[in-house]
Amino acid sequence: MGNSTSPLIALYGGTFDPIHYGHLKPVEALAKQVALHRVTIMPNNVPPHRPQPRANGQQRKSMIELAIAGNPLFSLDDRELQRATPSYTVETLEQLRAETGAEQPLAFIVGQDSLLNLQRWHRWETLLTLCHLLVCQRPGYSLTMKTSAEQRWLDKHRSTSVEQLHSMPAGKIYLAPTPMVDISATVIRQRLAHHLPCDDLLPAAVAGFIRQHHLYT
């Protein structure tokens, strides 16, 4: 897109307990809308004071591998799982920024629910100095921020220009008109615990892994 650095690098963090179509479908649409060549999924280590994932890191990683097998858009980066300590997104982004250099356009993908919560993240003000935020729509979550200060922050950084995402290294928030997919990992875990089918909610290979390993029952 008319600059000398490599194409916009997009990272997608989360617990992925388990990965599901609510993660995959909106991001596939986002990739077309903003011309992403690759999205790197980064499963996180959950801090001890937060509710712990039901599947362990290796299992969550295996499910991601099964979900993205044969899909060239996605790759997996397990650096957060490799660390003994839980990692903050801002620290992982600092590490990636150090690897890529200051000019490389970097983006972090979140759902609308995460945008609404962003100001509770560790050192959240630093995030936009490191990357852009690409926000996927998610049904059931407000399109306006919780406070007027947060809304002003969003309005200040919001961009509707895809070109800017590729030409600037960081600093913009792009609200993407992605399809609404009403799926959460919480609902999937609840359905599995009640032996209800989840065929339309996540890839068949992931459902097979869950059965084989007796997860979420």
Whole-angstrom distance, CA of residue 179 vs CA of residue 138 = 8
Q: For residue 208, what are its two tokens?
A: 């097979």
User: φ and ψ at 88, to 5 degrees?
Assistant: -90, 140
> Can you give the length of the chain in residues?
217
Instruction: Dihedral sign for Cα 82, 8, 25, 204, please.
Output: negative
Choosing from 10, 134, 181, 210, the residue that interacts with ligand ATP (CB under 6 A) is 181
Whole-angstrom distance, CA of residue 68 vs CA of residue 90 = 25
Q: Kindly state whether residue 185 participates in binding ligand ATP, applying the rule CB under 6 A.
A: yes
Residue placing its CB nearer to ligand ATP in the complex, 103 or 139? 139
Q: What is the dihedral of CA 31, 44, 75, 172, to 10 degrees?
A: 30
Residue placing its CB nearer to ligand ATP in the complex, 15 or 92? 15
Q: For residue 30, what are its two tokens?
A: 């986002």
Q: Kindly state whether residue 132 participates in binding ligand ATP, applying the rule CB under 6 A.
A: no
Task: Choose the stretch contacting ligand ATP; rule: CB under 6 A; options: 71-79, 83-91, 108-116, 200-208.
Answer: 108-116
Whole-angstrom distance, CA of residue 110 vs CA of residue 180 = 14
Residue placing its CB nearer to ligand ATP in the complex, 109 or 165? 109
How near is the Cβ of 59 to ligand ATP at its closest, in Å?
14
Q: Cβ(149)–Cβ(135) under 8 Å?
A: no
Residues 9-28 that bind ligand ATP (CB under 6 A): 14-17, 22-23, 26
| 3-state secondary structure (DSSP) of residue 118 | helix
How near is the Cβ of 50 to ligand ATP at its closest, in Å?
10
| 3-state secondary structure (DSSP) of residue 87 | coil
Task: Choose the stretch contacting ligand ATP; rule: CB under 6 A; options: 1-9, 74-82, 111-119, 125-133.
Answer: 111-119
- How many residues belong to the site for ligand ATP (CB under 6 A)? 18
How near is the Cβ of 101 to ligand ATP at its closest, in Å?
26
Q: Kindly state whether residue 172 participates in binding ligand ATP, applying the rule CB under 6 A.
A: no
| 3-state secondary structure (DSSP) of residue 181 | coil
Q: For residue 38, what are its two tokens?
A: 């690759």
How near is the Cβ of 61 to ligand ATP at its closest, in Å?
13
Residue placing its CB nearer to ligand ATP in the complex, 91 or 167? 91
Chain residues binding ligand ATP by CB under 6 A are 14-17, 22-23, 26, 110-111, 113-114, 136, 138, 181, 183-186
